[in-house]
Chains A and B, each alone.
Chain A
Amino acid sequence: QSALTQPPSASGSPGQSVTISCTGTSSDVGGSNYVSWYQQHPGKAPKLMIYEVSKRPSGVPDRFSGFKSGNTASLTVSGLQAEDEADYYCCSYADSNNSYVFGTGAKVTVL
């Protein structure tokens, strides 16, 4: 299984919005409502930010939102704050072999 494709980087000024895409195939993103997003700060473990395409765990600000259309999922961070600067990874369940595939990762920079 190949990694999901994400842009290497995205950036925005404080208060602006940034959207990260995550492109897979019909065998993973396109065929699954189980897309999740993780935030990772340098030297830290990933943190769950979005699950089941668009749901937010308790404690995650509503500035974070998720969407999916076809084989592409996306994460939008609105009202960018300095602490949002991190790497973001998408992840999809692939039911053909009961496995998970992560995206290549995108670095979000707050200008």
Chain B
Amino acid sequence: QVQLQQWGAGLLKPSETLSLTCAVYGGSFSGYHWSWIRQPPGKGLEWIGEINHSGSTNHNPSLKSRVTISIDTSKNQFSLKLSSVTAADTAVYYCARRDTSKYYMDVWGKGTTVTVSS
């Protein structure tokens, strides 16, 4: 049974770069797109972007200029970097899996809380 385990810095100052990593355990790494989704406190979900095992990415147009998603197939891990963070980037960040031939996220990580505060 595939599991996603995620980690990263939980407290950042404005203008710093958010960095999170998600590791995939118990399943295939290829044949899927690996996604990042976030949820500000008390608010809804926002899709950030995704990457496949070949390194091809898709992004939310509203965040694209600040987002870098990368992959390390040797470790079955993928990562998110979000530059120039502000308080508006405070959120729970989730990693998730999408079968490349499908259009939904079927496996999710537990989430990582990231707070941006001076």
Contact = CB atoms under 8 A, between A and B. Distances in A.
Interface of A: 1, 3, 32, 34, 36, 38, 45-48, 51-52, 57, 89, 91, 93, 97-105
* Chain B contact residues: helix, strand, loop or mixed: loop
Contacts of A105: 43-45
Contacts of A36: 103-105
Interface stretch (B23-31, B56-64, B74-82, B83-91): B56-64
Given A45-B108, A51-B102, A98 B45 contact: no
Give the interface size class of chain B: 20 to 34
Contact of A99 (B60, B102, B104, B109): B60
Contact of A101 (B47, B58, B109, B110): B47
Given A45-B109, A103-B44, A91 B104 contact: yes
Contacts, number: 62
Contacts of A52: 103-104
Nearest to A100: B47
Interface of B: 37, 43-47, 58-62, 94, 102-106, 108-111
B61 A99 contact: yes
A101 to B, nearest CB: 7
Given A89-B44, A102-B47, A48 B104 contact: yes
Residue of B58, B104, B110 with most chain A CB atoms under a 10 A cut-off: B104
A98 B106 CA distance: 18
Nearest to B50: A100
